[in-house]
Each structure stands twice: as structure tokens, then as C-alpha cells.
Chains A and B, each alone.
Chain A
Amino acid sequence: KAGVTQTPRYLIKTRGQQVTLSCSPISGHRSVSWYQQTPGQGLQFLFEYFSETQRNKGNFPGRFSGRQFSNSRSEMNVSTLELGDSALYLCASALDRGGQPQHFGDGTRLSIL
């Protein structure tokens, strides 16, 4: 069974640009969550999508957005990039909502110059 796949693995952008990250969950998993991981803040929850709807949102500005498609694949978009957005962005999928164990991808390393 294929794991969670995130693309691209690495991205370099400059301030002010926007970026879209992609996540393909494990087959059959309907919940997709996104996290930002940094050395200083650890893992911080961005948002969760389930059945193409955002169900929960963490404490991040509106520049961070996402969506989920009918096949459960998800994308995350960050607009007007700032230096502080440099981080590892992790996607995790779960069978269902309700605090189920999450399966993580390898992440996308985003560097802002």
C-alpha cells in the first residue's frame, strides 16, 4: 500500500511569491491534514480537510489556504510568501476524523530567499 506522497520535495521561492504544495493520501483515507514544522515551533497544525471541506483550522493567517479534491488529494497554497514561511510542510492522512492515527508524508521543504 503506497504511503502519503507529497510533491515537490524541495522548493525555493522568493518573498512575495506564492506556492502550491500537493499531497496524495493513502488510498481509502478521507481526512488530510497539513502541518508546518520548524525547529523553533515544532509541529503546528494548519488545517484539516474531509470530504472536500475544511473542517478545522489552526492559528495561521489567511495567506495559508488549501483544498481537497473528490479523490481526497489535497493542495495547500501559501500566497505572498514571507521569510518566516521557510519550513517543512507535512501532510498527514487518516481513515476518518475524530482523532484517528495519522500517516505522514516525507514533507515539502520550502525555503524562502
Chain B
Amino acid sequence: AQSVSQHNHHVILSEAASLELGCNYSYGGTVNLFWYVQYPGQHLQLLLKYFSGDPLVKGIKGFEAEFIKSKFSFNLRKPSVQWSDTAEYFCAVSGSYIPTFGRGTSLIVHP
């Protein structure tokens, strides 16, 4: 069975601070990895995805994530956050067709 663990449940930052959200997964085979974001009052939307190739993937709004196979990790990063990045972030893995989501990280960015 696959599982996803997001270590940070709540993160509070000031604007311009750097962000890194941890995501670890467990699955024995090849996986597709995703980060989704849910802005207040909006639906979940895809931030970025990794299927294969370059382990450093870039998404929308300046976000990027690095797949480290040996660590089973897919951490999300942004060098300088903005107030508009306030949202809930979900890491997801899909290895066996059944997607599994992490519990989510609530990010609050103070202006």
C-alpha cells in the first residue's frame, strides 16, 4: 500500500521568507508525484507534477519541487513567499492508480 506523509501541518511565514514543505511517501514501485494547492474559497488545483526525467520540477507561481528517490521525498519549495500564497498544500502520490493524498499543510503568510 502507498502512503504519504506531510510533516508540517501548519506553517506561518512573513512575506519574502523562503518556504520548504516536506513530503515523504512509501511505495515500492514507480510513482507519479503531485503537489496541489487550495486557496481560500477555491477548489483544489494542480501546482506541479513529476512523472519522470529531471527530478527538479517547476510549477506555477514560482513553486518548485525536488524528487529524491533515495529518500522517497518530494519537497515543495519557493524562495520568496507572498501573502497570496496563503493556502492549504497537499502532496499526492499515484503508484497503483489509486491516488493517495497527504493530510495537507496550512500555510499562512503575513504581509
Q: Does B12 contact A (CB under 8 A)?
A: no
Give the number of A-B contacts (CB < 8 Å): 51
How far apart are the CA atoms of A45 and B46 in the complex, in Å?
A: 17
Which of A42, A99, A105 is in CB contact (< 8 Å) with B94?
A: A99
Given A99-B94, A101-B34, A101-B49, A45:B43 Cβ within 8 A: no
Q: Which residues of B contact A58 (CB under 8 A)?
A: 98
The tally of residues in B whose CB lies under 8 Å from a CB in A reads 22
Residues 28-62 of A, flagged 1 when their CB comes within 8 A of B and 0 if not, give 00000101000000111100100000011010000
Contact call A106/B104, Cβ cutoff below 8 A? no
Residues 68-111 of B, flagged 1 when their CB comes within 8 A of A and 0 if not, give 00000000000000000000001000110111111110000000
Q: Does A84 contact B (CB under 8 A)?
A: no
Q: Which residues of A contact B102 (CB under 8 A)?
A: 42
Contact call A48/B98, Cβ cutoff below 8 A? yes
How far apart are the CA atoms of A17 and B45 in the complex, in Å?
A: 32
Which of A3, A42, A45, A105 is in CB contact (< 8 Å) with B99?
A: A45
Please classify the interface of chain B as helix (H, G, I), strand (E, B), loop, or mixed, using the class held by over half of its residues.
loop
Q: How large is the interface on A (under 10, 10 to 19, 20 to 34, 35 or more residues)?
A: 20 to 34
Contact call B90/A99, Cβ cutoff below 8 A? no
How far apart are the CA atoms of A100 and B33 in the complex, in Å?
A: 10
How far apart are the CA atoms of A60 and B109 in the complex, in Å?
A: 36
Q: Does B32 contact A (CB under 8 A)?
A: yes
Q: Does B44 contact A (CB under 8 A)?
A: yes
Q: Which residues of B contact A43 (CB under 8 A)?
A: 90, 101, 104
The chain B residue sitting closest to A41, CB to CB, is: B103
Q: Which residues of B contact A97 (CB under 8 A)?
A: 97
**What are 7 A-B residue pairs whose CB atoms fall within 8 Å in the complex?**
A42-B102, A48-B98, A56-B98, A97-B97, A99-B31, A102-B99, A107-B43
Known pairs A43-B90, A97-B97. 5 more at Cβ < 8 A? A4-B43, A42-B104, A45-B101, A48-B98, A104-B36
